[in-house]
Structure formats: C-alpha cells, structure tokens
Amino acid sequence: MKLCATLSSEYRFAGSFGRAPAVAGVAGTEWDGGILADTHSDPDSAWTDEANAYDGDDGTNALDSGIPGHYLELHLTTPRLCRAVLAYINASAATKAVEIDIHWYGGAWENIYADLMARNEWTEIVFAAGMVDKVRIKSGSVDYLLLHELQFAPIIELVGDVSAEPRFAGSVAVKGCS
C-alpha cells in the first residue's frame, strides 16, 4: 500500500527552509519547518553517537570512523512528502566531501548531493518533491565527519480552517505516488 498525500485546498506550499534552532526536538515531528528522523541504522558500525544526528541540537554530533564510504541512515516511521534535506556538518577542513541520498517510499535510493559542503553552517539540498522515508550520508574523503544534524524538509503543511481562503487548488504530481 502506498502512502501518498493528496493536495487540496487544505494545504499550502511551505515557505523557504530556514535555519533550525539548537533546541531539542521530538522525533518524527515538525519543528521550525524541519522533520527529525525517528530511528537510524549504521550498516557498517562505522559511526558513534548516531542519534545525535537527529536530536534537534546542532551542538551535538554523530562521528564517522574517518574512513570514507560508510553510510549513516536516518529513518522516518511514517513516510513524508518532502522537497529537501538540511545538513549541518563539521570537519577539520573548511569544506568536506560528502554524499547524501534519499530513499523514495516504496522505491529506491537516489543520490541528491555529491560535493564539498561548508562546515559550521546549514546547507539545504533541494530535490524533486516526493514521498521519502529515509536519508543517508557518507564521507567522500579521508577525514572525520561530524554530523550535527540531518533533517527532512516538508513541502506542504496543514494551515487549519481554509474553507474561507483556499491556499491551493488543483493537483500536483508527486514522485513516488501513483
């Protein structure tokens, strides 16, 4: 069974994704536009303090082994309609080679970022909107990667009673939905 959002007058497109605050969040819930993961997996046991990558606090971090190529996966229990992920990393160099993939709900992994990322600042990686249930990150170079936060960015948000003023009318095609 596919879980797909139906856009109607009950929804409006979310605004730009801003810097998330350095406060503890609640797993699987929206806070300041971001969605925190519910769980994680570390297939190669190459990371430490993995839960710090999605605790809503950019003062904590997960740490990789310093050897490139080991993914840390963050999971949503309930797939969400997303348009971007937001990453906050640190490393010994001013920039760090990283790769980030998203997992389409009911589908496959897709690479959305393979480049240098600035340290100590939020980086938004935008992709074609669709139902997403996982994101994963790995280092692309020899050096420790400190992952402070990796969050999902929703494309829509509920805006309450919209019967008097619809914010959206019509339909949109959503990747991963049929």
Whether 175 has a pLDDT exceeding 90, the answer reads no
**Residue range(s) defining the domain that contains residue 18:** 11-158
Q: What is the pLDDT of residue 33?
A: 53
What number of other Cβ atoms are within 10 A of residue 51's Cβ?
13
User: Does 176 reside within a domain?
Assistant: no
Question: What CATH number is attached to the domain comprising 113?
Answer: 2.60.120.260
Q: pLDDT tens digits for 30-45?
A: 345 589 999 999 999 9
User: Does 167 reside within a domain?
Assistant: no
Instruction: Give Cβ neighbours of residue 105 (< 8 Å, ≥ 6 apart).
Output: 2, 3, 79, 130, 131, 132, 133, 176
What number of other Cβ atoms are within 10 A of residue 21's Cβ?
13
User: Does 4 reside within a domain?
Assistant: no
Whether 80 has a pLDDT exceeding 90, the answer reads yes
Strands (E), 14-121: 30-31, 34-35, 39-41, 47-48, 62-64, 72-90, 95-104, 109-118
User: Does 171 reside within a domain?
Assistant: no
User: Does 119 reside within a domain?
Assistant: yes
pLDDT band per the 50, 70, 90 thresholds, residue 171: very low
Alpha carbons 18 and 90: distance in angstroms, whole number: 19
User: Does 174 reside within a domain?
Assistant: no
pTM attached to this predicted model: 0.72
N- to C-terminal Cα separation, the chain: 11
Alpha carbons 11 and 161: distance in angstroms, whole number: 10
**Between 92 and 15, where is the model more confident?**
92
Quick one: DSSP state of residue 21? Answer: P
Do the beta carbons of residue 82 and residue 129 sit within 8 Å?
Answer: yes
User: Does 177 reside within a domain?
Assistant: no
The total of structural domains in the chain comes to: 1
Average pLDDT over residues 137-156: 88
User: Does 166 reside within a domain?
Assistant: no
Torsion of CA 33, 14, 71, 74, to 10 degrees: 60
